[in-house]
């Protein structure tokens, strides 16, 4: 299977997802920004803002290639000379504190030496954790994983717990999800099957998020909840800029900054040493930002 076929499938996935998200939002439309990269390739970045549901979001497709740079060799441990990479990345920051922030990414990487792998993940970051919604989210992911390998969900769920973790806060970013990397045919699936697994995740993404939106969108909002939303967005910023290996690698390796930082919220707040009131919904959320919770 040609790498162009994979890029085409990912490009179609971006179309499918942006169309569905526009329907879910009902007000704002995505704006498209085409860019090219001097060293090879480019991307199609779609952003949405000031929607009824989505305050700021991005669905980015890219397809880049070129020489394996020294920083890639060092930081990714690569031994090839040239690479090809394509993927779709999404982060959505909803307006309502009762709708979670969501992230999804699927990606494919290959080297001129013949090695290739897929990676990806979906994770959910509720401003207020609702266990039944976290369970529904994980249930959907498990359903997709189980169609391919019933070891995928437990393995990728733990991987997400470890990856989406903020050590300096001793908090997970949210209720986790799944994360995987370096997935190749040694897992027992064919290349086509792994691609289909990624596409299935991407296609399920819109429905998965729609469910979360429906659950939260009619709930009333007060100013304390908006303040809490912005503080949680601050934690999202901290994770992405301090801990997220993808973001850090992108920034130091000369990636396109505006695409990498699509994940930033429209607005984030910080307050010194804020401790939520005992038994509040905020305290309940903090208490559940832990690794190893079986949400299902």
Distance of alpha carbon 199 from alpha carbon 242, whole angstroms:
29
Per rule CB under 8 A, is residue 272 in the interface with a copy of itself?
yes
Of residues 170 through 189, those in contact with a copy of itself by CB under 8 A are none
Per rule CB under 8 A, is residue 168 in the interface with a copy of itself?
yes
- The one among 75, 196, 269, 281 contacting a copy of itself by CB under 8 A: 269
Q: Evaluate whether 216 touches 98 at the Cβ level (below 8 Å).
A: yes
Per rule CB under 8 A, is residue 39 in the interface with a copy of itself?
no
Per rule CB under 8 A, is residue 58 in the interface with a copy of itself?
yes
- Which residue number, 23 or 168, has a Cβ lying nearer to a copy of itself? 168
Residue 103 appears among annotated catalytic residues:
yes
- The one among 14, 18, 28, 47 contacting a copy of itself by CB under 8 A: 47
Positions of E strands within 126-176 = 165-166, 171-172
- Which residue number, 8 or 32, has a Cβ lying nearer to a copy of itself? 32
Give the total residue count for the chain: 296
Residue 261, classified by CB atoms within 10 Å of its CB into exposed (0-12), middle (13-18) or buried (19+), is middle
278: tokens are 């005992």
Nearest to 174 by CA among 248, 60, 115, 94: 94
- Residue 166 CB partners (closer than 8 Å, separation 6+): 172, 173, 235, 238, 239, 242, 243
- Which residue number, 131 or 254, has a Cβ lying nearer to a copy of itself? 254
Q: Evaluate whether 116 touches 110 at the Cβ level (below 8 Å).
A: yes
Per the residue annotation, which of 103, 138, 168, 182 is the catalytic one? 103
Q: Write the binding mask 216 to 255 for a copy of itself: x where contact by CB under 8 A, - elsewhere.
A: --------------x---x--xx--xx-----x--xx---
Per rule CB under 8 A, is residue 92 in the interface with a copy of itself?
no
Q: How many CA atoms lie within 13 A of 126 on its CB side?
A: 26
- Which residue number, 45 or 125, has a Cβ lying nearer to a copy of itself? 45
47: tokens are 């952003």
- Which residue number, 174 or 265, has a Cβ lying nearer to a copy of itself? 265
Beta bridge partners of 116: 110
Q: Kindly state the number of chain residues that form the binding site for a copy of itself, as judged by CB under 8 A.
A: 33
Do strands 41-49 and 31-36 pair parallel, antiparallel, or not at all (unpaired)? antiparallel
Distance of alpha carbon 152 from alpha carbon 199, whole angstroms:
16
- Which residue number, 92 or 189, has a Cβ lying nearer to a copy of itself? 92
- The one among 261, 281, 284, 286 contacting a copy of itself by CB under 8 A: 261
Per rule CB under 8 A, is residue 33 in the interface with a copy of itself?
yes
Of residues 128 through 167, those in contact with a copy of itself by CB under 8 A are 167
Footprint of a copy of itself on this chain (CB under 8 A)?
33, 45, 47, 49, 56, 58, 167-169, 230, 234, 237-238, 241-242, 248, 251-252, 257-258, 260-262, 264-273
Q: Which residues are catalytic?
A: 103
């Amino acid at each position: 299977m040609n790498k162009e076929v994979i890029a085409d499938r990912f490009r179609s996935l971006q179309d499918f997802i942006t169309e569905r998200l526009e329907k879910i939002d009902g007000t704002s439309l995505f704006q498209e920004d085409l860019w090219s990269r001097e060293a090879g390739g480019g991307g199609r970045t779609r952003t949405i803002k000031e929607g009824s549901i989505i305050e700021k979001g991005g669905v980015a497709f890219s397809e880049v290639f070129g020489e394996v740079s020294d920083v890639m060799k060092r930081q990714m441990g690569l031994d090839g000379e040239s690479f090809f990479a394509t993927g779709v990345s999404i982060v959505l920051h909803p307006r309502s504190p009762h709708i979670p922030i969501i992230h999804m990414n699927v990606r494919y990487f290959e080297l001129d030496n013949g090695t290739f792998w897929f990676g990806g993940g979906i994770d959910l970051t509720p401003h207020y954790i609702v266990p039944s919604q976290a369970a529904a989210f994980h249930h959907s992911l498990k359903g997709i994983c189980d169609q391919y390998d019933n070891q995928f969900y437990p393995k990728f769920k733990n991987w997400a717990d470890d990856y989406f973790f903020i050590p300096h806060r001793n908090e997970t970013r949210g209720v986790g999800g799944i994360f995987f990397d370096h997935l190749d045919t040694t897992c027992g699936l064919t290349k086509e099957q792994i691609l289909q697994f990624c596409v299935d995740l991407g296609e399920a993404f819109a429905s998965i998020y729609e469910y979360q939106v429906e659950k939260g969108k009619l709930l009333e909002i007060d100013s304390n909840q908006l303040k809490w939303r912005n503080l949680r967005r601050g934690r999202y910023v901290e994770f992405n800029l301090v801990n997220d290996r993808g973001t850090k690698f992108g920034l130091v390796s000369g990636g396109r900054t505006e695409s990498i930082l699509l994940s930033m919220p429209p607005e984030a707040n910080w307050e010194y040493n804020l401790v939520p009131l005992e038994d509040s919904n905020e305290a309940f959320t903090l208490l559940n930002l832990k690794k190893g919770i079986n949400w299902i």
